[in-house]
């Protein structure tokens, strides 16, 4: 199930992003009561407005999570957009993640055509990509069931642009 796989990857990628950005997290309690380090959570205002994301995707999405990732989902959980926003230092890791996922799906990787560097892939109903620009990085995973590849790619590019503006 693609959605579950993407959502499972986000905490790992977000943790890498927080580390790469140099953020320090306060200790959190583990199951055994010993302190452990967790990824720092940026303020929710780092996440794009749900109305903007909904307009880009073409479906009503609600903001469902924040921290190092911004997650938006439709009520039926069919449409979703997940964004990880950070500093430029984490961009190479996110670009590698994008390339690896594309390879696993046997998809062609292309440049987003903006920013300093990046990689994207898209197919009917799904797309993902990472871009670095303006001293920032953005990673987006998008599920838009039934939508043509051109629509998923256009939404992906718009969300990536929003992430580095």
**What does the pLDDT look like over 36-61, one tens digit per residue?**
333 333 335 789 999 999 999 999 99
Query: In 3-state terms, what secondary structure has residue 153?
Result: helix
Q: Which two tokens stand for residue 95?
A: 């670009």
User: What kind and span of H or E run contains 139?
Assistant: strand 136-143
**What does the pLDDT look like over 92-151, one tens digit per residue?**
999 999 999 999 999 999 999 999 999 999 999 999 999 999 999 999 999 999 999 999
Return the CATH number of 2-164, one of 2.40.160, 3.60.21, 3.40.1000, 3.40.50: 3.40.1000
Domain boundaries, the chain: 2-164
DSSP code per residue over 42-109? PPGGGSPPHHHHHHHHTS--EEEE-SSEEEEE-TTSSSEEEEEEEEGGGHHHHHHHHHHHHHHTT---
């Amino acid at each position: 199930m693609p959605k579950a796989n993407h959502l499972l990857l986000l905490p790992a990628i977000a943790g890498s992003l927080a580390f790469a950005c140099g953020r320090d997290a306060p200790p959190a309690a583990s199951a055994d009561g010993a302190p452990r380090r967790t990824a720092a959570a940026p303020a929710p205002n780092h996440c794009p407005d749900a109305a903007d994301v909904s307009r880009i995707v073409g479906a009503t999405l609600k903001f469902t999570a924040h921290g190092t990732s911004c997650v938006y989902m439709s009520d039926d959980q069919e449409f979703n957009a997940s964004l990880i926003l950070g500093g430029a230092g984490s961009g190479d890791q996110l670009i590698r993640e994008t390339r690896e996922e594309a390879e696993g799906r046997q998809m062609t990787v292309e440049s987003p055509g903006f920013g300093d560097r990046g990689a994207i892939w898209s197919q009917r109903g799904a797309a993902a990509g990472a871009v670095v620009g303006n001293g920032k990085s953005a990673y987006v995973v998008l599920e838009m069931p039934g939508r043509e590849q051109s629509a998923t790619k256009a939404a992906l590019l718009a969300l990536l642009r929003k992430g580095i503006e």
